[in-house]
Amino acid sequence: MTEYNEEDFLLLSGIQHFAFCRRQWALIHIEQQWQENLRTVEGNILHEKAHDDGFSEKRGDVIISRGMAVFSRTLGVSGVCDIVELHKCADGVNIFGREGLYRPVPIEYKRGKPKENDADILQLCGQAMCLEEMLLCEIKEAYMFYGETKRRLKITLDDALRERVRDVIQEMHELFERKYTPKVKPSKSCKACSLADICMPRLCKNTSVSKYIRDSLKEAE
Amino acid sequence: MRKLLNTVYITSPDSYLSLDGENLVIQKGSTEAARLPLHNLESIIAFGYTGASPALMGACAKRNIALSFMSQSGKFLSRVVGEVRGNVTLRKAQYRLSDNMEESTKIARNFIFGKIYNGRWVIERATRDYSERLDAIKLKKVSEGLAKALNLVLNSRNLDELRGFEGESATQYFSVFDDLILQQKDKFFFHGRNKRPPLDNVNAMLSFVYTLLAHDTAAALETVGLDPYVGFMHRDRPGRISLALDLMEELRNVYADRFVISLINKRVVNFSGFMQKEDGAVIMDDDTRRTILQAWQNRKQEKITHPFLQEKLEWGLVPYAQAMLLARFIRGDLDEYPPFLWK
């Protein structure tokens, strides 16, 4: 199995950008462009609360770990889990610095409500796959917490989902290797995109500059 | 398109700029003259030997607010530039293109195509608007000459050839520039371009407004992650914002020249605001400079439809839109760089 070097790791959080729009991902992660808007700022505030760097607490048989940094050498990604709950149970795994066996359950916080696409779920599954590799265990389920509904949503991490995560990350690595920003079909989701000003979605509609210039020339003659 | 934020022009040389929390504070002596929140600003331009605190410079660099210092007469002195922003792939692609003469020529062709196209439009437009007052035959001839040059420009094979066509077109264009001045003709005339120093009122105004435009263009390039110092037509010269000068070419006549002419024709400026030194160098007084800055600020707010993007935006965002389009061309989204072809 191929393994990635640490310096070639991509950000786990990029999965969500990538699933939303490959071009948006490339603008942020290859071209390093970012623009804050209301949505991203609200997201940051919510995450600040969830992360609270490295803070862990114990509630009964559950350890709640915030801001856990995770990575996977086989996927070549790294990132931070909002929350990982460690449930004490007989068929769990050893955890650093704790006695007993625990079962890890990642929980990802999102500002809004469940989305039509599965961007959030792919990212969550990616986190779980990192944890599996780091803790040598199997994680069967994880949760999404949505700020708007204030509800947890249980996600089953089946083979099909894992396969999709692997495919998406593979494609991300390929684009990153080429430093290529793909064109995409503009859609109505462009309206909600914080990078619309930088992306200029109309440029993806096969706009020909040489025609623009030729037309101007004709009109001048 | 993003929002157009404000530009602050500081014209009194005895003011000091500092930072207080999230605000720009302008002090005059020991009193506070103004206090402006930074998040509404996109640019600060200080004229005269105004001081600014390092804290303010840092805050501007961090927030992408362009902070420039000009001499009292409007000559560019320096700009505060922060940490080089991400987007290293864009910059490397820009450097590669700049090192490649063939590719540089292709991009430079479009800058100059834009410049001549817009120059022709300025003349055509004036002919149409003031047909009774202008020598239409003379202007028509120049317009036809410029139309011919457009073709030559697109077919030029190298930068020297292109510079030749550009020079000839500029001569033609400026040969009728004086005709476009319809008011106060005894005090505002144009017999050719001179700049070091400007020797007449019109050249003094042109130089001043070109400096403002250069500041805006360099800031726009910086914002989109391009290096304003590495150009295609203007080759490298340490300390010169070559790419900003490249990008400015297509905006000079349509944005700056037309602005200067309208200030004269609408009698916004008056000859008494200009002084001539013993050697003939012309200087504007503070009031005139303030008047021009105010009018420039108003012009920036005027809305137009971008000819390529077909999107409504303010004149003040045109340098930004062009910088953006150039960046997107360099990253491979467009087949060529689309110049701003005004209609």
Contacts of residue A183 in chain B, CB cutoff 8 Å? 333
Given an 8 Å threshold on Cβ–Cβ distance, is B1 in contact with A197? yes
Q: Which residue is closest to B324 within chain A, CA to CA?
A: A198
Q: What is the pLDDT of residue A36?
A: 55
Tell me the pLDDT tens digit for each residue of A113-131.
777 778 889 999 999 999 9
Which of A15, A45, A11 lies closest to A121 in space, CA to CA?
A: A15
| A22, A203, A206, A210: best to mutate for the B interface, most B CBs within 10 A | A203
Contacts of residue A202 in chain B, CB cutoff 8 Å? 309-311
| A197, A209, A214: best to mutate for the B interface, most B CBs within 10 A | A209
Tell me phi and psi for residue B72, to 5 degrees: -55, -35
Whether the predicted pLDDT of B237 surpasses 60: yes
Nearest to A213 among B2, B325, B336 (CB): B336
Q: Of chain B residues 291-310, which have a CB less than 8 A from chain A?
A: 308-310
Pair A102, A95: CB distance under 8 Å:
yes
> What gap in Å lies between CA B279 and CA B292, rounded to an integer?
25
> What gap in Å lies between CA B324 and CA A96, rounded to an integer?
50
- What are the Cα distances from residue B301, in Å, to A74, B310, B318? 53, 18, 11
Tell me the pLDDT tens digit for each residue of A188-211.
888 888 888 888 888 877 779 999
Q: Does residue B198 sit in helix, strand or coil?
A: coil
Question: Which residues are CB-contacts of A212 (< 8 A; sequence separation ≥ 6)?
Answer: B308, B338, B341
Q: Which residue is closest to B153 within chain A, CA to CA?
A: A217
> B88 and chain A: CB distance < 8 Å anywhere?
yes
> What gap in Å lies between CA A158 and CA A161, rounded to an integer?
5
A interface residues, B as partner, C-beta within 8 Å? 30-33, 179-181, 183, 197-198, 200, 202-204, 207-210, 212-213, 216-217, 220-221
Single-letter amino acid code for the residue at B127:
T
Q: What is the pLDDT of residue B66?
A: 86
What DSSP character marks residue B26?
E
- What are the Cα distances from residue B21, in Å, to B25, B34, B35, B49, B88? 10, 14, 11, 24, 31
∠ Cα A219 B321 B116 (to 5°): 35
How far is A34 from chain B, CA to nearest CA, in Å? 10
A116 or A156, higher pLDDT: A156
Helices (H) and strands (E) in chain B, counts: 10, 12
Share of chain B above pLDDT 90, in %: 50
> What gap in Å lies between CA B321 and CA B329, rounded to an integer?
12
